[in-house]
Amino acid sequence: MNCPTIRYRFDPAVIVATLLTGMLVGTVASAGPRNVILIIGDGMDDHQITIARNYLVGAAGKLVLDELPLRSVAQVLTVTDTVPSEVIYVADSANTATSLSTGIVTSRGRLGTTAGSDRDVTNIVELAQAAGLKTGIVATSSVTDATPAAFVAHISRRYCESPAAMVDVAYRGITLADCTPDLASNGGKGSISEQIAASQVDVVLGGGAKHFAPNVAGGDHSVLEAAKKNGFHVITKGSELRSVPADKKLLGVFSESHLPVRLQGEDGRVAEKPKSSFMNQVHRYLGSVTLPEPMRCEANPATAGVPSLEMMTEAALSHLANEPDKGFFLVVESASIDKQSHVRNACGSIGELEQLDEALASALDFAEQYPETLILVTADHGHAAQLVPNESLFSEFGVPVYTPGHLARLVTRDGAVLAINYATNSFKLEEHTGVNVPLYSNAAGQGRVKGMVTQPELFDIMVKYLGLSRALALPTPSQ
């Protein structure tokens, strides 16, 4: 594997001095400035975690995630855009990331803006910057995708990712969004990539080069050029993470769109519909049904040269920690647990959960050196994948019993078959679910993170831990 050497500022002499200073003032805990690392697994509900654990380390094994000392659950809240007092029960990544980044409850598709009234709400990155802290955003998606974007941008619709996609944004001929009110010419902040380019975020790493290629609105240079003019050191190759100037903001975009995922099914297979025999088509209790052939996950060759989430996380931590007197806020997202579940690729989701687990291990290593680091791991919303029996509970009845949806069957390291069901709709893409999501924290969360919190409360916990003033924040809308 092509692993860059990360040069941490973990000087043993500094550590000893820091510890001694801590002891002199009575506690090691107050030794340094405080940091928050928020790790988001997109769509990473308990099914996804159990599926990944079973595949990667076996049913009785433990992920790094499983060893975290504090486990809680986060309540996902969403409202409609037309009547912002009206509840809806299933979220998307835009409104949930906005809850985490700003502490408000908003409607699906919105980033850093209020439901209905479309007001901008200050996010934790802006609060941290105002307090002199450093900030970072790392994602395996395009950095303009909903989750990372909610930590930097304020815009009415998540699909307005570049200046070329602001008016009548269409996907294969179907109009998905319109951000006319967000155009700079209308007093708005412009597209998501333009807002990133114009930002003061210290580190932004992920995919999405294509959203930085168009010219800025009303200008004759690309968004990437605009980022450079704004002081960003821009890199596009994983190998460039090895040596980045410590005194410049860093923008790394390592693929045109989302980063390729680590794992795929054999021969690119995803979940498939069980196949009915002729008599089974006459009646569902007759004849037989053939389930998809079990398979193993295999490496996706498209990842060659693309940095892992762990490598990006280590580079971001190294960059953020290079001014030891300043604390920081860093958000790290494994984005494609969700995206691969939408397309029924169980192997894809498993590999991206593994990436999250590795990034978490790096964050925990960092927190060993800098104990004033609160690490939170959570998901934004639940997802379609369900771990179902490989052999039905009702096999004794002697009739074919099979899912009406799509099934993937994976041979695990236990040597057993893990069956994963996708059956939330008849469309090409599966739905999110509205289940409460897992929330974990390291020891720094003790006494701060209770058994259940809402996503906006998670924002409050981070802001309070970093000692940030919320004076900058706009009043939150009624929830």
Stretch that binds a copy of itself, among 138-146, 304-312, 353-361, 391-399 (CB under 8 A): 391-399
From residue 54 to residue 73, the character string flagging contacts with a copy of itself as x (rule: CB under 8 A) and all else as - is x---xxx-x---xxxxxxxx
- What Cα–Cα distance (Å) separates residue 70 from each residue in 418, 457, 470? 28, 16, 27
Where is 464: in which H helix or E strand?
helix 455-465
Tokens encoding 226: 């605009």
From residue 102 to residue 141, the character string flagging contacts with a copy of itself as x (rule: CB under 8 A) and all else as - is ------x---------------------------------
Cβ nearer to a copy of itself, comparing 195 with 386: 386
- SS3 of residue 186 by DSSP: helix
- SS3 of residue 173 by DSSP: coil
Stretch that binds a copy of itself, among 122-130, 226-234, 344-352, 450-458 (CB under 8 A): 450-458
DSSP calls for 335-398 = THHHHHHHTT-HHHHHHHHHHHHHHHHHHHHHHHH-SSEEEEEEESSEES-EEE-SS-TTGGG-
Cβ nearer to a copy of itself, comparing 23 with 443: 443
Q: How far is the CB of 478 from a copy of itself (least distance, A)?
A: 12
Cβ nearer to a copy of itself, comparing 304 with 452: 452
Contact call for residues 474 and 154 (beta carbons, < 8 A): no
Count the neighbouring beta carbons within 10 Å of the beta carbon of residue 274: 18
- SS3 of residue 274 by DSSP: coil
* CA 123 to chain centroid: 16
Stretch that binds a copy of itself, among 33-41, 49-57, 214-222, 465-473 (CB under 8 A): 49-57
Does position 475 bind a copy of itself by CB under 8 A?
no
Q: How far is the CB of 85 from a copy of itself (least distance, A)?
A: 9
Q: How far is the CB of 51 from a copy of itself (least distance, A)?
A: 8
Contact partners, residue 91, CB within 8 Å, separation at least 6: 76, 77, 78, 108, 380, 381, 432, 434
- Figure out which of the listed residues 31, 77, 152, 367 binds a copy of itself, where binding follows CB under 8 A: 77
Stretch that binds a copy of itself, among 190-198, 263-271, 322-330, 415-423 (CB under 8 A): 415-423
Out of 30, 72, 85, 93, the active site residue is: 93
Cβ nearer to a copy of itself, comparing 205 with 360: 360
Report strand pairing: 249-253 vs 203-207. parallel
- SS3 of residue 43 by DSSP: coil
- Figure out which of the listed residues 393, 471, 475, 478 binds a copy of itself, where binding follows CB under 8 A: 393
Residue list 273-332, contact with a copy of itself (CB under 8 A)? 284
Active site residue 93: yes
Cβ nearer to a copy of itself, comparing 38 with 125: 38
- Figure out which of the listed residues 265, 292, 327, 438 binds a copy of itself, where binding follows CB under 8 A: 438
Q: Using CA atoms, how far apart are residues 100 and 37, in angstroms rounded to an integer?
A: 13
From residue 7 to residue 46, the character string flagging contacts with a copy of itself as x (rule: CB under 8 A) and all else as - is --------------------------------------xx
CA atoms within 13 A on the CB side of 212: 29
Report strand pairing: 417-422 vs 386-388. antiparallel
Active-site residues: which are they? 93
